[in-house]
Structure 1
């Protein structure tokens, strides 16, 4: 099958328009149209439904688009490996992690990485959905559980626990709980147990709600929970990695916490030699070592 025709087909399917695809490919609309017709004739099928609003893939077109999308991702991976054969660390690195960890722990530390590698460009994709690393939806991931996908190199970075925190101003105004039963007199700020989150966090919230907690504020990520806690709205369920960067938070009920949440860094086997990933991996590990040391120093004071 002619790769040029497949490349043009993919551009048209992605753009939904012959004109827009032609602009991307620097070809005329008529040239693009001829290539699509020739491809349809060679396959003896119709790939697009044509109507006034643009082009829509047929069922056969969808099958072909899935194949060309996979091919493009493999080509991107090959190009990344070729670029990574150079000595310098440069270019784009797509990093995916959860909203809370990415916003509250990772992003504030990236300035140090840029100081070391000013030509490295991070595309930080923050979402709870697990992106497909082997299919090149991202280059490297930091996940709050061990990845289950095959063909991934994975390294355990640290462990996290969910705990209860409040602001000093809130405690001064409403008092500090001394037992779980005291939570019934306070507003609990947390993620809804049905929202997408690590199981340990959801189980922890479920156990807290068993204490006749009636006043609630649900937020669908830890960044929002943190902002509500720091603005004196109640007692929040937050990951313990925040204590280093937000020393104004006061831990409530020191013996109460979730089960352990493992944090893993993972990337595709085919990017094992990537200097960009090695630079990012080493940076994260160094920051975690520093993070642990500061927490130990604080606890020993």
Structure 2
């Protein structure tokens, strides 16, 4: 089998799908990356990628090799942890992907506390209004609102959280009364851009039979800002409302959603004690912070 360096370069091309993207990640010249891939393919006697103007797509052989290469990557990370002492302390760099609502309102306090307790730990939050791609190593682990379907990923449910209809006090004082569900049709609705909802668990308004979204964004944080600016009525996370003191819940007896946060990571990562201990601390922190913020309402 080839050296770890060959597999490292192969993995980067597989994840970035271009020589330039892989070269940037590896801090190598793209032409050098291309030569190394060609050398690897010659050595094993099989094409690992289909090359096109759009980039590098894995062949069947390349797809099989990804599993082997990722296991080698995990072994190297484990060895590095032991040699540097990371197996005993939370240190180094860990990147977490999360939906922007969680990233904006829950993770900052959790990460600040983790950083204070582990001064050698560098934490990064990737806040995206979409699912973070762990296979391309966009992050070391991710918080999601649905469990993953990929077999190479493992997950644990962290906690449930609540969502309700909400609007600003100013908006409600200038609009028709909102005392029953049918009254929503006389109000401006704030919500997700329908064709950019990246997870079915976020499609709240379909359950309310509301066809028109007057003010829309693919970001839950932007939607809350629209509510703060008296834009209309929309679904908001209970844990986000303490950050918008003049936005209040409405129709709580008729409309209430319960969703869950999941912590997702590569199944192979469970072999790394450092990552497992961080995952445990992160999950506990998120659970506690959601409970703290919801209790403020």
1:77 is the counterpart of 2:79? no
Q: Which has more radius of gyration? A: 1
Q: CA distance change for structure 1 residues 283 and 37 in 2, over 3 Å: closer, same or farther?
A: closer
Task: State the match for 1:105 in structure 2.
Answer: 106
Deviation at 1:105, TM superposition (A): 2.1
Deviations 1:72-111 (A, max 9, x none): 5333322332344431211121212222222232235422
Q: CA distance change for structure 1 residues 238 and 6 in 2, over 3 Å: closer, same or farther?
A: same
In structure 2, C-alpha distance between the alignment counterparts of 1:139 and 1:8, rounded to whole Å = 16
1:161 is the counterpart of 2:162? yes
Task: State the match for 2:278 in structure 1.
Answer: 279
Residue pair 2:191, 2:205 contacting (<8 A) in 1 also: yes
Q: CA distance change for structure 1 residues 79 and 205 in 2, over 3 Å: closer, same or farther?
A: same
In structure 1, C-alpha distance between the alignment counterparts of 2:144 and 2:90, rounded to whole Å = 24
C-alpha RMSD over aligned residues: 4.1
Residue pair 1:184, 1:214 contacting (<8 A) in 2 also: no
Deviations 1:125-174 (A, max 9, x none): 333225346x7554322221233344655332221233111112222333
Deviation at 1:205, TM superposition (A): 0.3
Task: State the match for 1:16 in structure 2.
Answer: 19
Deviation at 1:263, TM superposition (A): 1.8
In structure 1, C-alpha distance between the alignment counterparts of 2:248 and 2:51, rounded to whole Å = 62
Task: State the match for 2:181 in structure 1.
Answer: 180
Q: CA distance change for structure 1 residues 147 and 63 in 2, over 3 Å: closer, same or farther?
A: closer
Task: State the match for 1:228 in structure 2.
Answer: 226
Runs of 5+ consecutive residues of structure 2 not aligned to the other structure: none
1:239 is the counterpart of 2:255? no
- Scaled by the length of structure 1, what TM-score is found? 0.73
- Scaled by the length of structure 2, what TM-score is found? 0.74
Task: State the match for 1:129 in structure 2.
Answer: 131
In structure 1, C-alpha distance between the alignment counterparts of 2:160 and 2:182, rounded to whole Å = 28
In structure 1, C-alpha distance between the alignment counterparts of 2:51 and 2:291, rounded to whole Å = 59
Secondary structure in 2 matching 1:159: strand
Task: State the match for 1:90 in structure 2.
Answer: 91
Q: CA distance change for structure 1 residues 136 and 72 in 2, over 3 Å: closer, same or farther?
A: farther
Residue pair 1:244, 1:291 contacting (<8 A) in 2 also: no
